[in-house]
Structure 1
Amino acid sequence: MKYLAFATGLFAATAAVAETPVLTIYTYESFVSDWGPGPAVEKAFEETCGCDLQFVGAGDGAALLGRLKLEGKRTKADIVLGLDTNLTAAALETGLFAETAVSADYDLPVAWNDPVFVPYDWGYFAFVQNADLANAPTDFKALADSDLKIVIQDPRSSTPGLGLLMWVKAAYGDEAPAIWEGLSDNIVTVTKGWSEAYGLFLEGEADMVLSYTTSPAYHLIAESDASKTAAKFSEGHYMQIEVAGKIANTDQPELADKFLQFMVTDAFQSIIPTTNWMYPAVTPEAGLPEGFETLIQPEKALIVPADQADAVRDAALAEWLEALSK
């Protein structure tokens, strides 16, 4: 009798697990790290969805699109989170993404009306340095003329790396190849992703690292360390808007839509500033954390429209590869 009761209970528990819907989200490694937004987002969403939210780290941002192209319609992803506007046109060309209806009062520097991709945060690329760095550069030409050592990320796998290419191209146009030739001897190494590059900088392997204007907020808020700052460049700073999109052949379309709508709620957006260390796409009810007011504010915001990004990216990548091969 006891065995029968045990077997019945075990069957019921197994059936309940089997009936729990699973939502699989591909994202970048730092998002799912212990210190990233992933754990808190997973907990908050699972409290509302009656589901099992599973994040899958798939390299850095630009690597997500590469993986998705390889998997095609066989992908196990229901949502891809971590592309940006430099990649959304290329993502659309795969035919793997579907439209979604998300309503939000965005607080972005640009108008947003994309029916496919939902923004969840944004920021400006910048070179982060120690605050006491002598003769800190104020533009790319000064950086190229200096003896400073920098670490950057590969634009073929990393969205910050790609953002740097777009930044130089947007700021200098046809002069971009000359800028890269000047910078080539400043580059200590090119890493696959952001985490590796930032780690090398913190270990003292470089004077500056490609990151974000918001990165010093981490050190200030989480570590009570005001020794890091972002260099303010007179050309302006390139803007990144990070987005998520629903896979067209997902077997959880309603759950995917629910998550995308959840992304623009206070429950998600309030997590972003002190875990992803970016500006939220929708300002949380409590506002930005204390310390964000100390961050540099670019005098000029640079961005290439998403529908032009492919052409600009291809030209910028060719120039970058040629300059670094010399």
Structure 2
Amino acid sequence: MNTALNYQPEVLVDTADLSREDWLDYRRLGIGGSDAAAIMGLSPFATIRDLYFDKIGVTPVIEEEEENWVAKEVGHRLEDLVAMIFAKKTGLEVFPVRKMFRHPLYPFMLADVDYFIRFPDGSIGILECKTCNYNAKDKWADDGIPENYVLQVRHYLAVMNMNKAYIACLYGNNENEFVYRCLERDRMEEEELIDQEKYFWEEYVEKKIEPPYSGKPDLILASIRKYNGYADKSIPEISISSLESRSLEKYLKLSEEKSQLEKRKKEIEAEQRALSVPFVELLGQGCKAVIEDGSFRYRITYNPTIRTQIGKENMEKLKNQHPDIYEEYTSTTESRIFRIKKEVA
């Protein structure tokens, strides 16, 4: 593969006046930068199977409320501010181009870039704008960049045929709580990324073949549940012969280890409660205390946790007496527990 060719990206569509729905439709025509991490099994948000279903237009059986929708909305709304802070701190010119681009050699590769940078020598680079909460700032420590963002920007550099990008992130409410990192184009890593994206598009999406799951187990389990739908206890017991029982033996062994640890945890907690009794008795209704023994000062807190809830019986009364209110303010969720029982064959 020769990624060193002199090429110019093609414009797929002008996005300035594009609706959200139309923009999503265009994204399904190929692979965007934020899709790259899912293909490589490194996305914190989606599996490769989720991405596949999105590209072929399959919607989840179970529609769940997006947990991180606020963070996404904040990130979108603050892109301009992040770009402004970056320009102020670096003195570099930044500007948007509201177009979705396509790689001329690999037309399945798309790029909708936040901002571009004009460097003093006249060359153009990429600026990717991010936000995160204060607790996530450690992911940027020691000149680090979250790996899913690295893959996203390498994808953009490939599509745009550019050699340099910056990723900027605002993690607080002032310009000092801000980091930016430079990322140079790496042709070897780019070739690997293009190979994986090409394989995903041609062997799975175009052929309508589901890719095998890869990535974080929690994401995979959530994806299986989302696309399989709710449990159906009327389905007869199935016989599984395609998987080895060694995994089940390991699962049972881990369950035993967990049981022993939980038993010890309960013993420790019981001992701690016993030790706390005289201190709680002296606190009475108080919530704070201090003890000094000459060398150390110990600060004790005994703060209340107040929770308002409707009991099971009252919930049933509400359902029977005010079904309209019950339906409006309650929601039904489903969780499933995986257990193994070992029997003699």
TM-score tier (shorter): under 0.3
Normalising by the residue count of structure 1, what TM-score does the alignment of the two structures yield? 0.23
TM-score (norm 2): 0.22
Which structure ranks higher in relative contact order (CA pairs < 8 Å, sequence separation ≥ 6)? 1
More strand by share: 1
* Larger CA Rg, structure 1 vs 2: 2
